[in-house]
Structure 1
């Protein structure tokens, strides 16, 4: 349990500010877009997108932050959760469905090289979601999930490439 290294230094003020601006604009745009669909709930504002914002704006150079991982991780995890609920929702306990949705999402993301940690939350959100969320069925992976991930990606492409720092340019790779 001994550490193998020392903690990294804090990022530069410039990098921190770009991260804050990106996260603000990304989530604000999602909030505006979401409010145009419904005044009762925040259709596109899922907790997993908050976690994605931390990755794609705060650590755009990380493998988990790349476009393939962002979009693929969310969409594939959403597909896994919908498949499980549609196939076994009435036969399995909620606790088992929760565990299966996250663990099988991790498996699928590993196999497809799309590991994006917030994808686990995307899967869990559908399984434990309200009737309104579950009524989306096979639409859930497309919208709010796929469309939301693409909206965040577009903001990340703009914000992360506005920086003068070449290490911040995004993405490192597409595929």
Structure 2
């Protein structure tokens, strides 16, 4: 358990400010979109999008932050959660479905090369959700999840490429 190295140094102020600006704009636009287009309780503003904001605005060069990972990780994990709940809700406990939704989502993201850690939260949110979220059924992977992830991605493309720092330019790869 002994540390092998020192922590990395603090990022430059410009990177910190760009990250904060991107996260603010991305989350704000998802919230505004949800306010005008969701039926009830702003379903668009989910905790997993906060984690996505950390990745795509704070670490835009990371593999987990690339477009295929953002969209694929969220949408595939949401599909897994809906499928598991629809097929096994009468057989398995909520606790077991929670564990299955995250573990199967991780395996699907590995197989599809779309690993995006917030995808696990997207699956868990659906399984743990209330009757309003469950009522979305097969719509959940596309809206709020797909639409919200797409809004976050579009903001990441704009904000990360406005920076003068070429190491911040985004994406590293599309597909």
Please give the TM-score of this superposition, normalised by the length of structure 2: 0.97
Gap runs ≥5 in structure 2:
none
CA displacement 1:127-150 (0-9 Å, x = unmatched): 010111111111111110011101
Structure 1 SS opposite 2:37: coil
Structure 2 SS opposite 1:161: helix
2:15 is matched with 15
Shift of 1:38: 4.5
Structure-to-structure mapping, 1:56-71, within 5 angstroms = 56-71=56-71
Structure 2 distance, partners of 1:66, 1:3, is 30
1:88 aligns with 2:88: yes
Structure 2 distance, partners of 1:75, 1:39, is 20
Structure 2 SS opposite 1:36: helix
Structure 1 distance, partners of 2:68, 2:39, is 32
Structure 1 distance, partners of 2:31, 2:141, is 19
CA displacement 1:124-171 (0-9 Å, x = unmatched): 000010111111111111110011101100000000000000000000
Structure 1 distance, partners of 2:9, 2:42, is 36
Structure 2 distance, partners of 1:150, 1:38, is 16
Which runs of 4 or more aligned residues in structure 1 lie more than 3 Å from their structure 2 counterparts after TM superposition? none
Structure 2 distance, partners of 1:5, 1:143, is 43
Shift of 1:39: 7.8
1:2 is matched with 2
Structure-to-structure mapping, 1:1-175, within 5 angstroms = 1-38=1-38, 40-175=40-175
Range with greater deviation from structure 2 (66-75 or 29-38): 29-38
Structure 2 distance, partners of 1:110, 1:138, is 22
